[in-house]
Amino acid sequence: MEEKIRLTKEGYIKLKKELDHLINKRRLEIARRIGEAKAFGDLMENSEYDDAKREQAFVEGRILELERVFKNSLIINENSDNDKVEIGSKVTLKELKTGQINIFQLVSSIEVDPLNGKISINAPVGEGIYHKKIGDKVKVKTPQGEFKYEIMEIQ
């Protein structure tokens, strides 16, 4: 049995929208492109047909992946007591050497979006802060080096 994939409610909704878009829009667009490419005749030298078939394979693979995620997902109750870092927690970290403040939301690996501050529970920082409390200091080894953080706030 596969391990449950823990998703935030926001992540679940975002992935559902993506799946809906892929099934109800992208599939139809690609089918139309394949039909148009076939109309050109010889498929052996038809780059439009080849491109559409590659895109179709990618889209179908993503649909299968998302369906597997939903089959094995569990929507987590986002941290309501804020006493320790859980999946869904928004955490304010202070880098002890520089004093730089970073705010991250801890999410499952499928919801990762570093540009929007969403880091995986499986990433070095995510593993380092998981189940920690306000005031805890953690040492994290990353590909960029070793960092020491203090947990300032948990939301």
Q: Return the structure tokens found at 44.
A: 């052996």
Give pTM, 2 decimals: 0.79
Say if CB 81 and CB 87 are below 8 A apart: no
Domains and CATH numbers, the chain: 5-75 (1.10.287.180), 90-154 (3.10.50.30)
With residue 125 as reference, give the H or E element that holds it. helix 124-129
Print pLDDT tens along the chain (155 aa): 667 899 999 999 999 999 999 999 999 999 999 999 888 777 677 788 999 999 999 999 999 999 999 999 999 876 566 789 999 999 999 999 999 999 999 999 999 999 999 999 999 999 999 999 999 999 999 998 999 999 999 99
Sign of CA dihedral 6, 27, 52, 61: positive
Q: What is the CA radius of gyration of the chain?
A: 21
Look at the block and give the residue holding tokens 């391990």. Answer: 3
Pairing between β-strand 73-75 and β-strand 5-7 as defined by DSSP bridges:
parallel
Pairwise CA distance, residues 150 & 94, whole Å = 5
